[in-house]
Amino acid sequence: MKQKKLIVGNWKMNPQTGAVAGKIFDGIKKGIVTFKNTDVAMCPPVIFIPELSKKLSAATILGVQNVSASKEGAFTGEISIGMLAQFKVKYVILGHSERREMGETDFMISKKVESALNAKLSVILCVGEKERDEECTYLEMLRLQIENSLLNIPKGLLSKLVIAYEPVWAIGEKATGRIDPAGLLEIVIFIRKVLSGIYDQETAHSLKILYGGSVDEKNSEGFMKEGGVAGLLVGRASLNPKKFIEIVKIAENL
């Protein structure tokens, strides 16, 4: 059976009002209503989740950009998994490079992954190196990041795990380079090799791997068609319904 593609929109700390968030959501929902082969998840700031949950349709899935590993208690500013259940949230992005830059460690991320998977949330675990070097030591860094972020995660919980590869050096205005589909395929093979070492080959090949790194409607086809990924984690372009719908359309037709 053909595996469905997954396109995830990470809105980050955008937009600034609920009215604009609703307009973006409605525009995307309208544009993807006929698509059947692609799952589409939108991850807005959590403050917009209650209103956007009222707009959900069969074609749309809600996700969040972070969640606490704790169920409740004295954790100022945190959002628990239980708080999200009433809003039909199904996905959570964990380990994003921007969160890691704020101080999240692999150990902290592994606790969040464990809590989210146990609560039946689908986890998009982000991994990726900050820079590359000629000696390829970045591969060892990537291996350790994957292993540590999945610490104590049993195979039985992996049916709801997705890996998103996001090379920090290839993202945004400060990017020092760009990855091409052939280079991405090499990394996908490497990630599956690491996963095989942690679990087994069958499990490693069953997990979806996404790519996230300055993805737009112009380069998305190459990443999915030749890069060996099952979908994309889209940043800036996910705030533009026209561009985001085009990316979903490309995934739908592959």
Antiparallel, parallel or unpaired: β 231-234 and 161-165: unpaired
96, 114, 129, 252: the catalytic one is: 96
Q: Per-residue DSSP letters for 79-122?
A: --HHHHHTTTEEEEEES-HHHHHTT--HHHHHHHHHHHHHTT-E
Tell me, rounded to whole angstroms, the distance of Cα 78 from its chain centroid: 20
Dihedral through CA 217, CA 218, CA 220, CA 225, nearest 10?
Answer: 130
114, 166, 217, 252: the catalytic one is: 166
- 96 carries an active-site annotation: yes
Nearest to 254 by CA among 234, 233, 235, 227: 227
- 166 carries an active-site annotation: yes
228 close to 207: Cβ distance less than 8 angstroms:
no
Catalytic residues: 96, 166
